[in-house]
Structure 1
């Protein structure tokens, strides 16, 4: 022993592939202390290299219901309809499901895009009925988007079954794709006529759960026939110890971000530490044999919610959460969710060593409305990432002139934290406005952006804004068109695939250092060199015809390099290399190995 350090050579004690326990004991004035560890000798062991970091994530945000229908048998679950009584499908379930996602994984769709993480809308059970859609109540609005939870412990039948969820996640992992759940800790779903009748809460006056708007009425008109003043009947809903709400017997929402009832949704009392029983609506659901949820002594609402959400991680290996309405929940609750998520994913990986992709910990990104690429205290309270609302505007600097993105690229590459940037969102707008050339250009800029990026389903081909009614955001959730993506807009998709696969292959794009080479064409290098992993790339945007690029700081003379966009190969000479650019003007240079 030297300087309190004991060095043992495993080969002195074990033959190749042998496994033994080693016990080390040390005595001191306080007594004898012992430690036992297991060792296996493997002379062929190769230290793993990092092929993925969340800084290089190429995340695909898919609104599952609007993507692909893999099982038509679940389309009308809980009596839901695809077309409402006024002939609209703006806010109905359209049929997309977990089976559809699995099919597209097996078809290679996500692999071809270079996607390494899929963010899915919350698959757990949502309210069964509808609410009035839009400010004018001009359509029936169902919870197809996953933001109106009913039961956090069951899979929503429109999404599929628990077996189909397991198959989806296992299939994703087998393709090198991580799965991120969209989750809500802030609020539950609205009361609907269907749920009131099915679970016996609230009080109706003169109407039934089959009500639809008549002449001169809207989808909001039914509220006039609901008695919101009857304390006894509303106590059978979520219960006053669970949520704030404007109904009788409940504490009304407050005036600050943490206590307001956002959009009049029942607000979970996540700040409470007092133990409560199950909410009455779930007790009723349990008595009907429709949930396996159990009461846990001493649990406050936040404890139940954290457990229910992280149980999906421990059971199925969910890799991360995108946390909705983050600024409306206490930071310590988010921190607890993260800590429990980390423990849950470690448990799953320990139990499923052949299914895990790596040993990375559970990951969380958050939606803090209006948050940009700046660092905030969310990063100190469980979040690895925060969604970057500012990027939709920032990216236009590069759309107007590729080199206009250099300060953004340089700044993001130097960040010690990980904003998640996007060009389209279900809550803001779609970037695509009919210009396919511009869509290719913005796709290039985003996919080559340092730190994590998010493609909103259909960005890759130019999905068009749909029917929206009096809600300006519904149109951002239009159906994915499999006809358009493989037909008239296929060139945009092919372009997106090439750049996306390049990003996924090269950790330097999202996690490396950035250095500008030239303004016109705009060229830059990215270099990653950490923990024994070295990755170097050079990207050229706005090139035309035969283009010579100075690459001396990245590739040595004599190095064989490849343009991943065209597949052409060349050799570095005199510190530069020459490629003929494709008509899209993009050259993506990697070492030809």
Structure 2
């Protein structure tokens, strides 16, 4: 090969070197700029809710994810902020006399960010218990303090001969009891009581919400040339209208300038540059008056269009989840069937043959397309023991790991369900059908035959407490260390090796299977540090590779505050809303149930989680007796629901139970949050407690006429939610509530829907008067509406017994 030699003069060589240096500097600047963009905050900064006069301490990494967390504090109206950089904390202290809306401002990597803040008041409730014995030890325990049996003692008032204690409570409904010298009793002065899951009674306290003085509601949205106009209605007292003191509009974490905002005739207009819309964005708007604020209202965009009003752009607010037990759903490969052959093992708790091949067949047959769900939540598919194990609690039955919650290997699909290739095929097929897949992940414990426990016993806590007693099923008193069974050692995540290894395992399942998220098991029994580390890894390693970020929803039985303590930008996206489920179930299935209680609970959830929350709304779950068993009257007061499943398994005898179930499903599909449908709900499957609530799924000609009709009607309700984005992104506004009837408006900037529910045994003629700011010119029946007449501002409705109706308001 010939060589070509070029001789350059020194001046030319010097010129080239100068140009090369410039090129290197420019490249470094571009690289540094790209690095800065990668490390900038991409999370939507969600509102912070403070209580007037009380400080709140927040971990910065719970507010947003970034490669570094150093910030500079900027001035924030009505809030004193203290920054503790070594602890990665901020302390927010609102002014003692201030209530309403403001923001928290800080600088990160050269850019200013704004977090919406609402400062609220809480009501002080005084609990009292009359007693002549001043030396008693008396506590009040309840859903407001996670039934903390070590809470502060009440103080004895010798003048009034009673014990007293004050608690600061959010509006809502609370169950409670008194603990007197270790014995629990209901409040003898409170006639309102309800049965608890243990067959006893709890006293019930209702804290009413304060009157809403100022409101902000969706009005309309329009794009004219290069400007998008977002408009809201402001409501305030008619007799003494006030001029706003401040208007805050936070778009993409930045406070908009005054030139983008205008208020005229109680209409707030926010102007946005159409050309500047990113792929996804959010606007938070609020108005502050001299004596309070409206609260923030959120608008979510996909491009320049409202979220939900675009086709084929999935957001987790669009999720309609279908939860299934792999072993109990469909058997597609009989060759991998392998029951545990061990004396004393009942078929109820043995493997029944369901597998990933069967699930794949149902996906490809279009079963889920027809039903309308778009997210599949699979029970754990990780390898479980080959043998049965005896439960510690009586009657100490032998049970297998058919459910998947007893891992014996960290990274292997249970061979009775299939292989990793089968799991990949399921996720790929689901994606082709427009569905997402979330895997159930077990992080709290493993089976004692797991190599982690055998090789690293120091990664786990002790089964025994310091006093020598067993730390078994101590759900609340030792929630972060308790073992579920003597053969299920619980992790001790103060050991960093264990934390790193298990969070890496979780990422392996995500990346290898192609799944889109997790249902996280037993969240409250795992420390926050675990969820923070896992989420940090997901946002660093997985989310940048995906168009839709990974979704994590958790399971926690407890108070709103405990549930919410695991939900943030630095931890989980959501949890299941068990407090709402616990309220809704008796409201729909018992004659004495009251829609006023349900409405309060919905609003309580909104106060804690925000109107746009992603909390999972339930009708059934694998840990609860099925709805149909309650609706059919098969569970007596105080019954042991698990024992009932063995002695007298429920069956559906009353046709009206299907109507009650459809009414509940209509409610669940039209309130804020994500609906979660447990396999079999669509056919009205019944069942008592575990394992009777995990019967084998049935399809096609194995369904009765009533079950097939029920499935058809459930499909219609699901399609209603998918068709109207306001049911997924809109606000919730009750317009009529009594014991048996609940009516509410779901609205966004494009549409308003009215949902009316009647749970009584009789038909109802109802007159619904709309608020003054809601102008209705016509109504369009969308579901089950036959007799109605609009005489503005009143809508007259004939509502059949145990049915609901939906209208589009124009």
- Using the size of structure 2 for normalisation, the TM-score is 0.51
1:70 is the counterpart of 2:70? no
> 3-state DSSP class of the match of 2:582?
helix
> For the structure 1 residues 236 and 171, does the alpha-carbon distance in structure 2 shift closer, same or farther, using more than 3 Å as the test?
closer
Residues 319-334 of structure 1 aligned to structure 2 (within 5 Å): 319-334=516-531
1:369 is the counterpart of 2:557? yes
**Residue 71 (structure 1) shift:** 1.7
> For the structure 1 residues 26 and 518, does the alpha-carbon distance in structure 2 shift closer, same or farther, using more than 3 Å as the test?
farther
**Residue 120 (structure 1) shift:** 1.0
Match of 2:250 in 1: none
**Residue 403 (structure 1) shift:** 6.3
Which one of the candidate residues 434, 455, 463 is aligned to 2:677?
455
The CA deviation string for residues 168-199 of structure 1, in whole angstroms up to 9 with x for no partner, is 112222223221111111111244xxx9xxx9
**Residue 539 (structure 1) shift:** 1.8
Which one of the candidate residues 755, 759, 776 is aligned to 1:539?
755
- Check conservation: 2:754, 2:809, Cα contact below 8 A: no
1:310 is the counterpart of 2:310? no
**Residue 444 (structure 1) shift:** 2.1
The CA deviation string for residues 188-229 of structure 1, in whole angstroms up to 9 with x for no partner, is 1244xxx9xxx9xxxxxxxxxxxxxxxxxxxxxxxxxxxxxx
- Check conservation: 2:307, 2:729, Cα contact below 8 A: no
**Residue 569 (structure 1) shift:** 13
**Residue 137 (structure 1) shift:** 6.0
1:405 is the counterpart of 2:627? no
- Check conservation: 2:519, 2:554, Cα contact below 8 A: yes
Which one of the candidate residues 160, 164, 182 is aligned to 2:440?
182
CA distance in 2, matches of 1:331, 1:60: 27
Match of 2:624 in 1: 428
> 3-state DSSP class of the match of 1:378?
coil
> For the structure 1 residues 382 and 582, does the alpha-carbon distance in structure 2 shift closer, same or farther, using more than 3 Å as the test?
same
- Check conservation: 1:126, 1:143, Cα contact below 8 A: yes
The CA deviation string for residues 294-345 of structure 1, in whole angstroms up to 9 with x for no partner, is xxxxxx1221211111122223332221111222222111111122223444
> For the structure 1 residues 371 and 462, does the alpha-carbon distance in structure 2 shift closer, same or farther, using more than 3 Å as the test?
farther
> For the structure 1 residues 178 and 564, does the alpha-carbon distance in structure 2 shift closer, same or farther, using more than 3 Å as the test?
farther
**Residue 571 (structure 1) shift:** 11
1:392 is the counterpart of 2:581? yes
Choose 1 or 2 for highest CA Rg: 2
1:50 is the counterpart of 2:269? no
1:473 is the counterpart of 2:690? yes
> For the structure 1 residues 586 and 327, does the alpha-carbon distance in structure 2 shift closer, same or farther, using more than 3 Å as the test?
closer
> For the structure 1 residues 462 and 558, does the alpha-carbon distance in structure 2 shift closer, same or farther, using more than 3 Å as the test?
closer
- Check conservation: 1:314, 1:347, Cα contact below 8 A: no
Match of 2:292 in 1: none
> 3-state DSSP class of the match of 1:340?
helix
- Check conservation: 2:684, 2:707, Cα contact below 8 A: yes
- Check conservation: 1:371, 1:386, Cα contact below 8 A: no
Match of 2:747 in 1: 527
- Check conservation: 1:186, 1:270, Cα contact below 8 A: no
CA distance in 1, matches of 2:719, 2:594: 24
1:110 is the counterpart of 2:299? no
CA distance in 1, matches of 2:429, 2:556: 31
CA distance in 1, matches of 2:791, 2:514: 48
CA distance in 1, matches of 2:316, 2:744: 22
1:382 is the counterpart of 2:541? no
Which one of the candidate residues 150, 154, 179 is aligned to 2:408?
150
Match of 2:782 in 1: 563
Match of 1:272 in 2: 495
The CA deviation string for residues 262-284 of structure 1, in whole angstroms up to 9 with x for no partner, is 322122232212xxxxxxxxxxx
> For the structure 1 residues 270 and 134, does the alpha-carbon distance in structure 2 shift closer, same or farther, using more than 3 Å as the test?
closer
Match of 1:506 in 2: 724
Residues 213-252 of structure 1 aligned to structure 2 (within 5 Å): 237-244=454-461
CA distance in 2, matches of 1:113, 1:178: 15
CA distance in 2, matches of 1:499, 1:27: 61
CA distance in 1, matches of 2:494, 2:536: 17
- The structure whose residues are more often strand, as a share, is 2
**Residue 237 (structure 1) shift:** 2.6
The CA deviation string for residues 472-531 of structure 1, in whole angstroms up to 9 with x for no partner, is 5222222223356453322322232222221233332243211233448643221134xx
Structure 1's unaligned 5+ residue stretches are: 1-24, 200-234, 274-299, 350-358, 467-471
Match of 2:660 in 1: 438
> For the structure 1 residues 105 and 343, does the alpha-carbon distance in structure 2 shift closer, same or farther, using more than 3 Å as the test?
farther
The CA deviation string for residues 228-255 of structure 1, in whole angstroms up to 9 with x for no partner, is xxxxxxx9934323334669xxx99878
CA distance in 2, matches of 1:236, 1:375: 29
> 3-state DSSP class of the match of 1:498?
helix
CA distance in 2, matches of 1:501, 1:447: 10
> For the structure 1 residues 569 and 428, does the alpha-carbon distance in structure 2 shift closer, same or farther, using more than 3 Å as the test?
closer
- Using the size of structure 1 for normalisation, the TM-score is 0.68
The CA deviation string for residues 434-486 of structure 1, in whole angstroms up to 9 with x for no partner, is 333322222222222211232222122221226xxxxx522222222335645
CA distance in 2, matches of 1:320, 1:241: 30
Match of 1:96 in 2: 354
> 3-state DSSP class of the match of 1:266?
coil
**Residue 101 (structure 1) shift:** 1.9
The CA deviation string for residues 142-166 of structure 1, in whole angstroms up to 9 with x for no partner, is 1111110112211111221222211
**Residue 570 (structure 1) shift:** 11
- Check conservation: 1:398, 1:405, Cα contact below 8 A: no
CA distance in 1, matches of 2:677, 2:348: 22
Match of 1:210 in 2: none
CA distance in 2, matches of 1:49, 1:371: 33
Residues 116-195 of structure 1 aligned to structure 2 (within 5 Å): 116-133=374-391, 135-136=393-394, 139-191=397-449
- Check conservation: 2:375, 2:437, Cα contact below 8 A: yes
- Check conservation: 2:317, 2:674, Cα contact below 8 A: yes
> For the structure 1 residues 303 and 565, does the alpha-carbon distance in structure 2 shift closer, same or farther, using more than 3 Å as the test?
farther
**Residue 64 (structure 1) shift:** 1.3
State the structure with bigger RCO (CA 8 A, min sep 6), 1 or 2: 1
CA distance in 1, matches of 2:514, 2:389: 33
Match of 1:207 in 2: none
CA distance in 2, matches of 1:74, 1:362: 31
**Residue 59 (structure 1) shift:** 1.8
**Residue 115 (structure 1) shift:** 1.8
